[in-house]
Structure 1
Amino acid sequence: MTSPFSLRMDDDTREELVKHAERSEVSPSKLVNRYVKEGLRMDEHPVIAFKTTPHGRRPVLASRPGLQVIDIIGTWQDERQDVVATARYFRISEDDVRAVVSYYADYKKEIDQDLNAHLEAQENYKRVLHQRDARARRRVAKT
């Protein structure tokens, strides 16, 4: 649900916002909403940044933007919530893992949805590879 909100900004910022929105093919209103939402989250969780991925905007570790929160949380869960093991696996600090877990606690439902979608995509990929390999083996066996 959305509700109207009046906002004043200087002309240069507004112009830059409109240009960026056009390049991003979204409305200025949606872009402002995204910036405010992400900015509030980054203020609360300074180790978190946001990055555009093929699956949309995702929270990442600010010091390692290639490392998504869902990757860290998935590993942390696989490691029986062992912060030390998770930090060692990614070669990041234990404080970074704790900070990501804190972010997860605040946005658990959203992250769980992203993580489940990610795991489903991995399973689909494995299934496709298995089917492709099985077809290739059948072709080889026929020759």
Structure 2
Amino acid sequence: MGSGLPRSIRFDERVSERLTSYVARHPGWSGSSAANRFVDEALRMEDHPGVIFRDGPADRRAVLVGGPDVREVIRSVKSARASEPDLDAGMVVSLVSTNAGVPARLIDTAIRYWAAYPDEIDVWIDEVESFEEQSLLAWERRQDLLAR
């Protein structure tokens, strides 16, 4: 994380202990970088009710409460828009909602979050698509090798 404006923050003793414990379990993190992450995430969640953050194999990511990753929803919306360019916005949301089994209100939540952080979500989508392409190529090479 980049350096920002210095701030003096006093944490309650319990919060300070939990932050210290978190940093100890996450090499490379400092108390400042962890606090920055959690404050940023809390502010994002305040601005976008229905979005939370979760750790996973692809690092920490925005997730819909009771639903999939925001990036998965946005990827579906982009796919629906590309496949059905004549649908209006409400019909795209309805199509994604039906196909993904995710309520339309959560689709709208993901879209609002993406609108605020498009570069972040689009980079994640690009990374997933690149991984999928590489996995498919590796599978095809294995099939070619083993073919008669």
Fold conserved between structures, TM > 0.5: yes
The whole-number CA distance in structure 2 between the counterparts of 1:2 and 1:88 is 44
Identity of aligned residues (%): 26
Higher RCO, Cα 8 Å, sep 6+: 2
- Matched position secondary structure for 1:123: helix
In structure 2, distance between residues paired with 1:86 and 1:28: 40
Extract unaligned runs of 5+ from structure 2: 82-88
TM, length-normalised to structure 1? 0.90
- Give the C-alpha shift of residue 24 in structure 1: 2.4
Off by >6 Å, runs of 4+ in structure 1: none
- Does residue 1:100 correspond to 2:110, yes or no? yes
Residue by residue over 1:81-111, the C-alpha shift from the partner in whole angstroms, topping out at 9 and shown as x without a partner, is 6100111112121111011101000000111
The SS at the match of 2:52 is strand
- 1:62 maps to 65
Task: Using the TM superposition, give the Cα deviation of residue 122 of structure 1 relative to its aligned residue in structure 2, in angstroms.
Answer: 0.5
SS in 2 for 1:56: coil
* Aligned-pair Cα RMSD in Å: 1.2
**Whole-Å Cα distance in 1 between the matches of residues 3 and 127 of structure 2?**
25
Residue 85 of structure 2: aligned partner: none
Alignment of 1:33-44 (within 5 A): 33-44=36-47
> Secondary structure of the equivalent of 1:78?
helix
Greater mean deviation of Cα atoms: 38-47 or 26-35: 26-35
For 1:80-91, what aligned pairs fall within 5 Å after superposition? Answer: 80=81, 82-91=92-101
CA–CA distance in structure 2, aligned partners of residues 84 and 61 of structure 1: 17
For 1:1-143, what aligned pairs fall within 5 Å after superposition? 1-3=2-4, 4-25=6-27, 26-64=29-67, 67-80=68-81, 82-137=92-147, 141=148
2: distance between equivalents of 1:74 and 1:13? 37
Following the alignment from structure 1 to structure 2, what is the Cα–Cα distance between the partners of residues 83 and 93? 9
Bigger share in strand: 1
Look up the equivalent residue of 1:114 and give its one-letter code. W
Q: How many aligned positions are there?
A: 136
Moved more, 108-117 or 21-30: 21-30
Counterparts of 1:75 and 1:16 in 2: how far apart (Å)? 37
The one-letter code matched in structure 2 to 1:55 is: A
Structure 1, gaps ≥5 residues long: none
